């Protein structure tokens, strides 16, 4: 995963996350644990970064080797409002 993007997520820095997206960061690239940037944001509870990443229209249903989907995990951990989901 892009080191700058990972640091931005870890620091909950939405502006840097946005810049990484605009500069073409690979949002599907997985880290050593095979997690994408979206899953890293979910697991660390970085809600603002998560919204920015979701807004980039990446594959939010892509599963990790553990079978986790970022969208489902975010809803389970209440990082997103799924009350209006259809």
Dihedrals φ, ψ of 73, to 5°? Answer: -60, -40
The domain spans of the chain are 3-76
Confidence band for 86, pLDDT divided at 50, 70 and 90: very low
Average pLDDT, the chain: 79
The structure tokens listed for 80 are 């997103």
Q: For 3-76, give the CATH class.
A: mainly alpha
Res 35: pLDDT: 81
CA end-to-end span of the chain: 32
Confidence band for 29, pLDDT divided at 50, 70 and 90: confident
Nearest-angstrom CA–CA distance, 5 and 29: 11
Does the pLDDT value for residue 8 go beyond 90? yes
């Amino acid at each position: 995963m892009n080191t700058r993007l990972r640091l931005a997520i870890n620091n909950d820095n939405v502006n840097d996350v946005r810049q990484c997206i605009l500069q073409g960061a690979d949002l599907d690239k997985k880290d050593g644990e095979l997690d994408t940037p979206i899953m890293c944001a979910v697991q660390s509870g970085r809600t603002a970064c998560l919204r920015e990443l979701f807004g980039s229209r990446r594959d939010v249903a892509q599963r990790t080797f553990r079978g986790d989907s970022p969208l489902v995990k975010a809803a389970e951990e209440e990082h997103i409002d799924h009350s209006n989901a259809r």
